[in-house]
Amino acid sequence: MLRIALGDEAPAAAERLLQELASLRNVVNADIERLTSILNGQRLAAQLVVAAKDLIEASFTEALTDGPICASDKHLLTYLGRRMKGRRQETLLALFADQNCHFIREEELGIGSAWSVAVRPRTLFGRALALDARSILLVHNHPSGEARASESDINSTRHLVQQAKQLDIFIIDHLIVGGSQIYSMKKGRNW
């Protein structure tokens, strides 16, 4: 895509981006101002990088709309692994779905520290009710790379599952992304 805006200068520009930002993931996650700066003011080239990221993300989210959300679906797990990889802070995603577990919407509901993320039940269930969601897949990352549930993860998930039952909302699973592994709290019998 850089070649469209920069012609023969594209390889050198791509090298500058990787040199400045250290990885392709950092390049596609950089904001437009940072990209424009590295690309010597070439805003169109920066916009094309952002557009490429948007296209890639759209292709991954297509997998969410193909059928019911299943926490063990290979395509979903690949998407979530890519979505959460490289984050330095714990981040909580909620995938909201209808009564048949068909995808409605994905939302980032919390960004915490390197060791924890918290979401207020009111926020999570308020969004579910506003979207008329009847099921939720929770996903968060562990920047440490450990894909296992902490005591805090277990306790907060148990609490959320109990509250969800009171609202007639089904928690599909709570997945933890750590490095290249994804742990299912439901399969691990953590609630």
Residue 114 pLDDT:
63
The confidence band for 172, taking pLDDT boundaries of 50, 70 and 90, is: very high
Rounded CA-CA distance 143/85 in Å is 8
Residue 152 has pLDDT above 80, yes or no: yes
Residue 113 pLDDT:
67
Per-residue pLDDT reduced to its tens digit, 110-119: 777 666 677 8
Q: What is the mean pLDDT of the chain?
A: 89
Residue 41 pLDDT:
93
Rounded CA-CA distance 1/89 in Å is 30
Rounded CA-CA distance 47/54 in Å is 10
Residue 62 pLDDT:
75
Per-residue pLDDT reduced to its tens digit, 17-38: 999 999 887 888 788 999 999 9
Nearest to 105 by CA among 135, 73, 140, 79: 135
Alpha-helical runs (H) found in the chain: 2-6, 10-21, 24-29, 32-38, 43-62, 74-84, 121-130, 151-166
Q: Is the Cβ–Cβ distance between 77 and 182 less than 8 Å? A: yes
Per-residue pLDDT reduced to its tens digit, 33-80: 999 999 999 999 999 998 988 887 777 777 677 789 988 888 889 889
Residue 162 has pLDDT above 90, yes or no: yes
Highest mean pLDDT among 114-123, 124-133, 150-159: 124-133
Residue 151 has pLDDT above 80, yes or no: yes
- Write down the domain spans for the chain: 2-61, 67-184
147 burial (CB, 10 Å; 0-12 / 13-18 / 19+) is middle
Residue 87 pLDDT:
84
Q: Is the CATH number 3.40.140.10 carried by domain 67-184? A: yes
Say whether 28 sits in a helix, a strand or coil.
Answer: helix
